[in-house]
Amino acid sequence: MAYSVSLSPAAVRQFRKFPILIQQRLKQHIDPLAIIPRPAGTKKMEGEPNLYRIRVGDYRILYYVWDSEQEVLVAKIAHRREVYR
């Protein structure tokens, strides 16, 4: 059972601002979320239900997982110094 993976409009804008090499690295972590929405190394964020984080070098991918709808929504992609603001 595969999950549907989508990016919020803000995440799309953030993703497009990165250089191509960074985009490729991020995409390698976003695409497999359809099969395994909580891969090894994923952390659940406190204070927000269903919010998770993946580390990709100095970058972070924040995303929501809704198991009942089998949906993953990437909410934010940013450098680690900016992502939690």
Rounded mean pLDDT, 45-49: 91
What's the CATH code of the domain at 57?
3.30.2310.20
pLDDT at 85: 76
DSSP 54: E
What is the span of the domain harbouring residue 40? 4-79
In a domain, 48, yes or no: yes
Does 58 fall in a domain? yes
Q: Is residue 85 assigned to a domain?
A: no
- As for how many domains the chain has, the answer is 1
**Per the domain annotation, does 84 fall within a domain?**
no
Q: Is 21 a domain residue?
A: yes
pLDDT at residue 60 is higher than 90: yes
Assess whether pLDDT exceeds 80 at residue 77.
yes
Q: What is the pLDDT of residue 84?
A: 79
The pTM for the full model equals 0.92
Helices (H), 19-85: 20-30
pLDDT digits 0-9 by tens, 2-44? 999 999 999 999 999 999 999 999 999 999 999 999 999 999 9
